[in-house]
Amino acid sequence: MTVAGFLAAAVPMALASPYVPAGDSTVLERVAARSELMRLAPLRAAVVTAPADLEAALSLATGYIDLGRRNNDPRFIAYAQATLLPWLARLQPPERVLVLQAITLQYLHQFDAALGLLDRALALEPLDAQAWLTRASLLELRGDYAAARRACARLVRTADAFSALTCLASVAGRNGQLTPSYTALSAPADLDPRLPRALRAWRLAVVAEMAERLGDDRAAEAALRGALRIADDDPYAKAAYADLLLRTGRPRDVLALLAGNEAQDPLLLRLTIAAHRVGSPEGPRWMHAYEARLRAAELDGDSTHQREQALYMLEVRGDPVAALELARRNWAMQREPADLRIYARAAAGAHSAADCAQLAHWIAQAHYEDRALRLTQECELPQGSP
Amino acid sequence: MQWRRLWLALLLVGCATAASGHKPSDSYLTLTVPSSGEVLQGQWDIALRDLDFVLGLDANQDGAITWGELKAARTRIADYAFARLALEAVGRGDRRACIPRLGALLVDEHVDGHYAVLRFSADCGLHPVELAAHYRLLFEVDPTHRGLLQVIGGGTEQAAVLSRDASQVTLNVSAPGRWQQFTAFLSEGIWHILKGYDHILFLLTLLFPAVVRHGAAGWEPRESLRDTTLDVLQVVTAFTVAHSVTLSLAVLGVVHLPARWVECGIALTVLLGALNNLRPVIVRRRWAVAFAFGLVHGFGFASVLADLGLHGTNLALSLLGFNGGVEIGQLLLVLAVLPLAFLARRTVIYRHAFMPAGSAAIVMLAGYWLVTRYMMST
Q: Name the pLDDT band for A300 (thresholds 50, 70, 90).
A: low
Task: Answer with the residue of higher pLDDT: A53 or B206.
Answer: A53
> Domain boundary residue among B172, B202, B227?
B172
pLDDT of A326 > 90? The answer is yes
Size of interface A-B (CB pairs under 8 A): 247
pLDDT of A302 > 50? The answer is yes
* Strand B26-32 with B146-153, pairing: parallel
Does residue B307 share a domain with residue B262?
yes
Q: Using the beta-carbon criterion (under 8 Å), do B58 and A31 form an inter-chain contact?
A: yes
Asked if residue B6 is part of any domain, the answer here is no
- Over residues A218-231, the mean pLDDT reads 93
Does residue B227 share a domain with residue B202?
yes
In sequence order, what are the residues at sequence separation of 6 or more whose Cβ sits closer than 8 angstroms to the Cβ of residue B263? B300, B373, B377
What per-residue confidence (pLDDT) applies to A124?
Answer: 96
Helix (H) or strand (E) holding B107: strand B99-110
- Over residues A245-255, the mean pLDDT reads 95
What per-residue confidence (pLDDT) applies to A209?
Answer: 95
Altogether, the residues listed in chain B come to a count of 378
Does residue B85 share a domain with residue B134?
yes
Q: Name the pLDDT band for A384 (thresholds 50, 70, 90).
A: very low
Identify all chain A residues contacting B117, using CB atoms and an 8 Å cutoff: 18
Domain of B134? 23-172
> Domain boundary residue among B172, B187, B216?
B172
Of the spans A206-215, A262-271, B103-112, B258-267, which averages the highest pLDDT? A206-215
Integer angstrom CA distances of residue A164 from B7, B55, B281, B329? 13, 44, 81, 69
pLDDT tens-place values along chain B, 378 residues long: 444 445 444 444 443 344 445 667 889 999 999 888 889 999 999 999 999 999 999 988 888 999 999 999 999 999 999 999 999 999 878 899 999 999 999 999 887 789 999 999 999 999 898 999 999 999 999 998 989 899 988 767 788 889 999 999 999 887 666 777 788 888 888 888 887 778 888 888 888 888 887 777 777 888 788 888 888 888 888 998 999 999 888 888 788 788 778 888 888 999 998 888 888 777 778 888 899 999 998 888 887 777 666 655 567 788 888 888 888 998 898 899 888 888 888 888 888 888 888 889 999 988 888 888 777 655
The model's pTM: 0.70
pLDDT of A223 > 60? The answer is yes
Identify all chain B residues contacting A293, using CB atoms and an 8 Å cutoff: 23, 111-112
The answer to whether the beta carbons of residues A27 and B113 sit under 8 Å apart is no
Q: Using the beta-carbon criterion (under 8 Å), do A239 and B18 form an inter-chain contact?
A: yes
What per-residue confidence (pLDDT) applies to A378?
Answer: 60
Nearest CA in chain B to A336: B17
Q: Name the pLDDT band for A377 (thresholds 50, 70, 90).
A: low
Is A238 in CB contact (< 8 Å) with chain B?
no
Indicate the range of A22-26, A43-47, A75-79, B350-354 predicted with least confidence: B350-354
Asked if residue B117 is part of any domain, the answer here is yes
Which conformational region is residue A84 in: left (phi greater than 0), alpha (psi within -120 to 50 degrees), or beta? alpha
Burial B181-204 (b: 16+ CB within 10 A, else e): bbebbbebbbebbbebebbbbbbb
Nearest CA in chain A to B311: A4
Asked if residue B263 is part of any domain, the answer here is yes
Is A76 in CB contact (< 8 Å) with chain B?
no
In sequence order, what are the residues at sequence separation of 6 or more whose Cβ sits closer than 8 angstroms to the Cβ of residue A342? A307, A310, A311, A314, A323, A327, A330
Task: Answer with the residue of higher pLDDT: B301 or A12.
Answer: B301
What is the predicted ipTM? 0.77
Asked if residue B16 is part of any domain, the answer here is no
pLDDT of A7 > 50? The answer is no
Does residue B69 share a domain with residue B84?
yes
What per-residue confidence (pLDDT) applies to B346?
Answer: 84
Q: Using the beta-carbon criterion (under 8 Å), do B15 and A28 form an inter-chain contact?
A: no
Nearest CA in chain B to A267: B21
Residues 93-152, chain A: which have Cβ within 8 Å of B?
103, 106-109, 111, 129-130, 133-134, 137-138, 141
Nearest CA in chain A to B47: A29
List beta partners, residue B135.
Answer: B85
Asked if residue B14 is part of any domain, the answer here is no
Q: How many domains does chain B have?
A: 2
Integer angstrom CA distances of residue A274 from A224, A245, A251, B151, B154? 19, 9, 5, 42, 49
Of A25, A108, A296, the CB nearest to B66: A25
The answer to whether the beta carbons of residues B144 and B24 sit under 8 Å apart is yes
The answer to whether the beta carbons of residues A31 and A37 sit under 8 Å apart is yes
DSSP B8-62: HHHHTTTHHHH---SPPPEEEEEEE--SSSSEEEEEEEEEHHHHHHHH---TT-S
Of A28, A74, A199, the CB nearest to B67: A28
Of all residues in chain A, what percent carry a pLDDT higher than 90? 65
Q: Using the beta-carbon criterion (under 8 Å), do A109 and B16 form an inter-chain contact?
A: yes
Of A65, A81, A296, the CB nearest to B23: A296
Does residue B277 share a domain with residue B160?
no
Q: What is the pLDDT of residues A174-184, one digit of tens each?
A: 999 999 999 99
> Domain boundary residue among B141, B172, B203?
B172
Does residue B254 share a domain with residue B105?
no
The answer to whether the beta carbons of residues B40 and B150 sit under 8 Å apart is no
Q: Name the pLDDT band for A382 (thresholds 50, 70, 90).
A: low
Identify all chain A residues contacting B156, using CB atoms and an 8 Å cutoff: 3
pLDDT of A139 > 90? The answer is yes
Does residue B185 share a domain with residue B157?
no
Q: Using the beta-carbon criterion (under 8 Å), do A73 and B63 form an inter-chain contact?
A: no
Identify all chain B residues contacting A19, using CB atoms and an 8 Å cutoff: 106-108
* H-only helix segments in A128-234: 129-141, 145-158, 161-173, 178-185, 197-213, 217-230
Does residue B238 share a domain with residue B123?
no
Helix axes A197-213, B2-11, angle to 10 degrees: 40
Residues 241-260, chain A: which have Cβ within 8 Å of B?
none
Does residue B227 share a domain with residue B118?
no
Is B256 exposed, middle or buried (CB count within 10 Å of its CB: 0-12, 13-18, 19+)? exposed
List beta partners, residue B153.
Answer: B156
Structural domain spans, chain A: 311-386
Q: Name the pLDDT band for A380 (thresholds 50, 70, 90).
A: low
Of A3, A16, A160, the CB nearest to B109: A16
Mean pLDDT of chain A: 88
What per-residue confidence (pLDDT) applies to A17?
Answer: 85
- For an interface test with A, which of B3, B7, B20 has the most A Cβ atoms less than 10 Å from its Cβ? B20
Residues 41-60, chain A: which have Cβ within 8 Å of B?
none
What per-residue confidence (pLDDT) applies to B245?
Answer: 92
Asked if residue B224 is part of any domain, the answer here is yes
In sequence order, what are the residues at sequence separation of 6 or more whose Cβ sits closer than 8 angstroms to the Cβ of residue B31? B40, B41, B42, B87, B122, B131, B133, B149, B150, B151, B152, B153
The answer to whether the beta carbons of residues A366 and A143 sit under 8 Å apart is yes
Asked if residue B42 is part of any domain, the answer here is yes
Asked if residue B371 is part of any domain, the answer here is yes
Task: Answer with the residue of higher pLDDT: A279 or A34.
Answer: A279
- For an interface test with A, which of B1, B4, B7, B15 has the most A Cβ atoms less than 10 Å from its Cβ? B15
Identify all chain B residues contacting A35, using CB atoms and an 8 Å cutoff: 63
Indicate the range of A219-228, A283-292, B128-137 predicted with least confidence: A283-292
Of B10, B113, B117, the CB nearest to A198: B10
What per-residue confidence (pLDDT) applies to A318?
Answer: 92
What per-residue confidence (pLDDT) applies to B302?
Answer: 83
Identify all chain A residues contacting B8, using CB atoms and an 8 Å cutoff: 62, 65-66, 103, 130
Nearest CA in chain B to A3: B158
pLDDT of A121 > 90? The answer is yes
What per-residue confidence (pLDDT) applies to B21?
Answer: 53
Give B120→chain A minimum CA distance, Å: 14
Q: Using the beta-carbon criterion (under 8 Å), do B114 and A5 form an inter-chain contact?
A: no
What per-residue confidence (pLDDT) applies to B80?
Answer: 97
- Over residues A226-252, the mean pLDDT reads 91
What per-residue confidence (pLDDT) applies to B14?
Answer: 44
Of A15, A19, A35, the CB nearest to B110: A15
